[in-house]
Amino acid sequence: MRKYVIMGPQGSGKGTQAKRLRDDYDLVHISVGDIFRWNVQSHTKLGARIRRYVDAGELVPDDVVGEIVLDRLNQHDWNFGFVLDGFPRSERQALFFLETFDIDAVIEIQLPAATATERVLGRRLCGRCGLDYNLIYHRPARPEVCDVCGGALETRSDDSPQAIAARLHAYHAQAAPILELFRRKELVVTVDGGCAPDEVYRQICQKLGLVR
Ligand code: AMP
């Protein structure tokens, strides 16, 4: 059983690395941001409660987030473990989490703010099939059109420069005390997110002692 939390600023490649761990070690990837976006897009009751926070790049209140994460983990569909992405994001969430779950490690992906901003502004998502693009690393053959299904590419509603600056600022302000808390418990492994994805993954596996 492997229970990991992955942390890093927006654009650090958290999602990419979490998916690799999921595929190679049969872990369940739980992205709180994805759960929230799905609810907003699907016009659920929860979506209505959280839409304004998500659109503004502000944190959703702790009680709502705690409830959603617990519900998700209580499904117990994670026989081999999970990678939690996007939680905890406040000290309160971290304390609650440490009381509720034994985790094995916190993966911290470091990335300078300028690189993070550049990467996030280049993100595109196919509105039809959901495939991810990045105008820096993974360009579509035709501008703003999905290579696979021909759907129109969209930016996330919260990927405006103002919202990104707010999210990066919030990330660093909030991550510092959380990482400190986890560091005291000797749970944190740190990798350099400025490297290519394969290299970042190699560092993660090495530091977690994962044999491939
Ligand atoms: P992300 O995809 O991780 O950047 O998350 C997108 C948005 O979802 C954030 O800007 C917040 O509005 C919300 N969100 C995601 N995770 C959390 C969390 N742990 N606590 C509060 N809000 C969150």
* 79 is a domain residue: yes
Confidence band for 28, pLDDT divided at 50, 70 and 90 = very high
Distance (Å, whole) CA 57 – CA 94: 20
Q: How far is the CA of 59 from the centre of ligand 1 (A)?
A: 6
pLDDT score of 211: 80
Q: How many domains does the chain have?
A: 2
Same domain, 32 and 135: no
- Calpha distance 55→159 (Å, rounded): 9
Phi, psi dihedrals of residue 150, rounded to the nearest 5° = 80, 5
Q: Residue 14: pLDDT above 80?
A: yes
148 plus 82 within the same structural domain: no
Domain assignment present for 105: yes
- Please indicate, yes or no, whether residues 85 and 174 belong to a single structural domain of this protein: yes
Residue 18 CA, ligand 1 centroid: distance in Å:
16
For residue 53 and ligand 1, the question of a CB distance below 6 A is answered with yes
Q: Which of 60, 69, 85, 158 to mutate to test the pocket of ligand 1 (most atoms within 8 A of CB)?
A: 60
- Tell me the pLDDT of the chain averaged across its residues: 92
> Is pLDDT at 163 greater than 90 in this prediction?
no
If asked whether residues 35 and 138 sit together in one domain, one would say no
pLDDT at 159 over 90: no
Across the range 78-102, mean pLDDT stands at 91
What's the 33 CA to ligand 1 centre distance in angstroms? Answer: 5
Q: What is the mean pLDDT of residues 192-196?
A: 94
Q: Are 61 and 139 found together in one domain?
A: no
Residue type, 41: Q
- 37/90 same-domain check: yes
Atom of ligand 1 nearest to the CA of 61: 21
Its domain, for residue 72, covers 2-113+160-208
Q: Tell me, what's the pLDDT at 167?
A: 85
Domain assignment present for residue 118? The answer is no
52, 128: one domain: no
Residue 166 pLDDT class (50, 70, 90 cuts): confident
What span, in angstroms and rounded, lies between the C-alpha atoms of 182 and 108?
11
Asked whether 7 lines ligand 1 (CB < 6 A), one says no
Is 6 in the same domain as 88? yes
* 131 and 169 together in one domain: no
**CA–CA gap between residue 42 and residue 22 (Å, rounded):** 25
Residues 127 and 182 in one domain: no
Q: What is the CATH number of the domain that holds 31?
A: 3.40.50.300
Residues that are catalytic: 14, 89, 123, 156, 167
| 110-115 long-range Cβ contacts below 8 angstroms, 24+ apart | 110/8, 110/12, 110/190, 110/191, 110/192, 110/193, 110/194, 111/8, 111/9, 111/11, 111/12, 111/193, 111/194, 112/194, 113/9, 113/168, 113/172, 115/11, 115/193, 115/194
Please report, in angstroms and rounded to a whole number, the separation of the first and last CA atoms in the chain.
16
For the Cβ of 65 lying below 6 angstroms from any atom of ligand 1, the answer is yes
Q: For residue 175, what pLDDT band results from cuts at 50, 70 and 90?
A: very high
Q: Are residues 75 and 135 in the same domain?
A: no
Question: In this predicted structure, what is the pLDDT of residue 31?
Answer: 92
Whole-angstrom distance, CA of residue 169 vs CA of residue 161: 12
Mean pLDDT (whole number) for 161-168: 88
Sign of the C-alpha dihedral computed for residues 65, 43, 57 and 118 taken in this order: positive
Residue 202 maps to a domain:
yes
The span from the CA of 47 to the CA of 51, in Å, is: 6
Query: Which amino acid residue places its CA nearest to atom 4 of ligand 1?
Result: 33
Ligand 1 in reach of 57 Cβ (< 6 A): yes
What pLDDT shows up at residue 8? 95
Shared domain for 10 and 40, answered yes or no, is: yes
**pLDDT 10s digits, 41-62:** 999 999 999 999 998 878 899 9
* The predicted structure's pLDDT at residue 56: 85
| pLDDT tens digits, one per residue of 112-137 | 999 999 999 999 999 999 999 989 88
* Atom of ligand 1 at shortest range from CA of 87: 19
